[in-house]
Amino acid sequence: MINDDEHTAAKQLPEKTIERLSEYRRMLLGCLRQGRTHIYSHELASMHGITAVQVRRDLMLIGFSSDTKKGYDVEVLIDFIGTILDSAEGLNVGVIGMGNLAQAVTHYFNGKRSRLRITAAFDVDPQKVGRTVAGVPCYDMETFARTARELDIRVVILSSPSSVAAGLVEPITRAGVRGVLNFTSMPLNFPDDIYVEDYDIITLLEKVAYFAKDNG
């Protein structure tokens, strides 16, 4: 059951809630492929290591509830989460710095979501510019601001060397980009109206290593 008032209010959700909704959808898609039609909150919770109360709270927050004893309708819930997470017209993603990491991310992600697709790459390497890399056309970084506007790139995956990352803030901002996934190890100072998610693999690996080591 969908509550229209709550659905409208769901536009500004906590970051952790957004992350869990994405995880729920990924698990639900797996359930659908297995032929499951319904799922209970405690089952979703066990898949994510959280409580059933948290699952129900998240779904109530976006205006979704179930009044059947069979649990949540898997397909209906997938579609409803999509109305929260996805842009109605779809969003184009660009990648800056088409090294091994960016190519792996592009290969892995494209095709996973119909309304979010990596459509262009940008690099300075003449061996990549003008060619198709990881299934997407690669453009000269010098043309980024203009090309990104022409292609309506709204989100950027930044995977350039950290040494040049700060210099990319201006062209990314000028291109009208609204969100940045920053894979560099450099914190970047974007305007407040651009959402930035930093993903520092080295820091995360060191964090895991710390808790994995023998601290006795």
- The answer on 105 and 71 residing in a single domain is no
- The answer on 99 and 55 residing in a single domain is no
Question: Which two three-digit tokens encode residue 46?
Answer: 């066990």
Q: What is the pLDDT of residue 216?
A: 59
- The answer on 114 and 39 residing in a single domain is no
Q: What is the CATH number of the domain that holds 150?
A: 3.40.50.720
Q: What is the pLDDT of residue 11?
A: 55
How far apart (Å, rounded) are the C-alpha atoms in residues 6 and 17? 15
208 is a domain residue? no
- Residue 133 · residue 125 · CB < 8 Å: no
Of all helices (H) and strands (E), which one includes residue 126? none
- The answer on 182 and 95 residing in a single domain is yes
- The answer on 95 and 80 residing in a single domain is no
Domain count, the chain: 2
215 is a domain residue? no
- Residue 92 · residue 113 · CB < 8 Å: no
- The answer on 97 and 193 residing in a single domain is yes
Q: What is the pLDDT of residue 206?
A: 92
Domain boundary among 37, 61, 84: 84
210 is a domain residue? no
How far apart (Å, rounded) are the C-alpha atoms in residues 32 and 29? 5
Q: What is the CATH number of the domain that holds 10?
A: 1.10.10.10
- The answer on 158 and 72 residing in a single domain is no
Placement of tokens 């022409």 in the chain: 150
- CB neighbourhood size of 105 (10 A): 18
Burial category of 151 from C-beta neighbours within 10 Å (exposed 0-12, middle 13-18, buried 19 and up): middle
211 is a domain residue? no
- The answer on 96 and 63 residing in a single domain is no
Q: What is the pLDDT of residue 47?
A: 92
Per-residue pLDDT of the chain (216 residues; tens, 9 = 90+): 444 444 444 458 999 999 999 999 999 999 999 999 999 999 999 999 999 999 999 999 999 987 668 899 999 999 999 999 998 888 999 999 999 999 999 999 988 888 899 999 999 999 999 999 888 999 999 999 999 999 999 999 999 999 999 999 999 999 999 999 999 989 999 999 999 999 988 888 998 998 898 765
Side-chain-side CA neighbours of 148 within 13 Å: the count stands at: 27
Domain that holds residue 37: 4-84
Question: Which two three-digit tokens encode residue 1?
Answer: 């059951």
Q: What is the pLDDT of residue 202?
A: 87
Domain boundary among 67, 84, 101: 84
Q: Which of 111, 95, 98 is nearest to 158 (CA)?
A: 95
216 is a domain residue? no
- The answer on 107 and 152 residing in a single domain is yes
